[in-house]
């Protein structure tokens, strides 16, 4: 089946899905996005992704060219046209085509596109054995510059952090804030398990308000596991019993070594396994149907 992209109100083949070189999403990273996932013909947490997209748009004073209902229909239609049962959905809204100055008011209409594609997964080996990750020098955005809750098209510092990890031979990086506290990884939130309590940094420390993060917090509460949003230093990570990352793409990824320190006994822990099987059950049973 030919891949179809939603672009400004039309469904076009991938080769024809082109935007202007004057688009401010490209020239300045002036825009926002969402990454969603589908399981067995259903989009997981669609309403939550819509809410976050609208909150990001509000923060950067960006018009989303469709009503919430019409955007949801466009997302469902794009997913349906592409026909995958399990896939990745990317929604992107940019300031649109302008001139070469920053001037956002010269951009007469926002650009909106929706891509549905096969999902690229971490190999199964890492879910079984866990990742080894490191802390890197490039810091996460702070609310003093660009609020980290905004899922904007400016990912350069996260990309630099990823490059720093890769240069050192690792797949993922922990990013600190300017006070040196843990925020999250480059595209995933971070959690630890400490004496049977699940802990994750509050978003004001510099983390995206991750939808998988919120889902894991809800799952933990249902499983009667205590959850705390708590400021974490590297010290807390090194001395944790378990550590894991969460994201729409990665789902729940165990971490077994950080900056050369083995976490707990170096094996994927019980709490991770419990939360992970509850998450798997949830994605199999929930979601908005499109097929």
- Residues annotated as part of the active site: 151
Task: Count the neighbouring beta carbons within 10 Å of the beta carbon of residue 260.
Answer: 8
Out of 91, 248, 254, 283, the only residue in the binding site for ligand PXG (CB under 6 A) is 248
Cβ-based burial of 180 (10 A; exposed 0-12, middle 13-18, buried ≥19): exposed
Minimum distance of ligand PXG from residue 108's CB (angstroms)? 28
By CB under 6 A, tell whether 202 contacts ligand PXG. Answer: no
- What binding mask, one character per residue, do residues 169-188 give for ligand PXG by CB under 6 A, x or -? ---------------x--xx
Helical residues (DSSP H) of the chain, grouped into ranges: 24-28, 46-59, 68-82, 124-129, 156-167, 211-222, 234-238, 270-285
Q: Is 247 in the site for ligand PXG (CB under 6 A)?
A: yes
- The residues in 54-83 that bind ligand PXG, with binding defined as CB under 6 A, are none
State yes or no: residue 212 binds ligand PXG (CB under 6 A).
yes
Buried b (16+ CB within 10 A) or exposed e, 92-122: bbbbbbbeeeeeeeebeebbbbbbbeeeeee
User: Any contact of residue 203 with ligand PXG (CB under 6 A)?
Assistant: no
SS3 content of the chain, % helix, strand, coil (to 5): 30, 30, 40
Type and span of the H or E element at 107: none
Q: Does 194 bind ligand PXG (CB under 6 A)?
A: no
- Asked if 154 touches ligand PXG (CB under 6 A), the answer is no
Candidate residues 208, 252, 272, 275; the one interacting with ligand PXG per rule CB under 6 A: 208
Note the helical H segments in 86-228. 124-129, 156-167, 211-222
Q: Of 107 and 162, which CB lies nearer to ligand PXG in the complex structure?
A: 162
87 is an interface residue for ligand PXG by CB under 6 A = no
Whole-number minimum distance, CB 10 to ligand PXG, in Å? 25
287 contacts ligand PXG (rule: CB under 6 A): no
Contact residues for ligand PXG (CB under 6 A)? 35, 158, 184, 187-189, 208, 210-213, 246-249
């Amino acid at each position: 089946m030919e891949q179809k992209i939603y672009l400004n109100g039309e469904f076009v083949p991938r080769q024809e899905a082109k935007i202007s070189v004057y688009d401010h999403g490209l020239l300045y990273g002036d825009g926002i996005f969402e990454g969603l996932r589908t399981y067995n013909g259903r989009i997981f947490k669609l309403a939550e992704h819509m809410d976050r997209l609208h909150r990001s748009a509000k923060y950067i004073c960006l018009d989303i060219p469709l009503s919430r209902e019409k955007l949801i229909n466009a997302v469902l239609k794009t997913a349906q046209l592409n026909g995958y049962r399990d896939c990745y959905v990317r929604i992107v809204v940019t300031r649109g085509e302008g001139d070469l100055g920053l001037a956002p008011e010269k951009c007469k209409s926002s650009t909106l596109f929706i891509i549905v594609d096969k999902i690229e997964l971490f190999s199964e080996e890492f879910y079984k054995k866990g990742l080894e990750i490191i802390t890197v020098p490039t810091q996460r955005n702070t609310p003093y510059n660009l609020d980290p809750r905004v899922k904007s098209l400016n990912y350069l510092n996260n990309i630099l952090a990823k490059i720093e990890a890769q240069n050192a031979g690792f797949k993922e990086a922990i990013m600190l804030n300017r006070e040196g506290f843990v925020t999250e990884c480059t595209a995933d939130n971070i959690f630890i398990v400490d004496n049977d309590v699940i802990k994750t940094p509050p978003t004001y420390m510099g983390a995206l308000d991750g939808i998988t993060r919120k889902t894991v917090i809800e799952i933990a509460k249902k499983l009667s596991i205590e959850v705390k949003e708590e400021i974490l230093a590297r010290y807390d990570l090194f001395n944790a019993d378990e550590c894991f990352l969460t994201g729409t793409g990665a789902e729940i990824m165990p971490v077994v070594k950080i900056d050369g320190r083995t976490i707990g006994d170096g094996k994927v822990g019980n709490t991770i396994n419990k939360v992970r099987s509850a998450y798997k059950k949830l994605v199999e049973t929930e979601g908005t149907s499109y097929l």
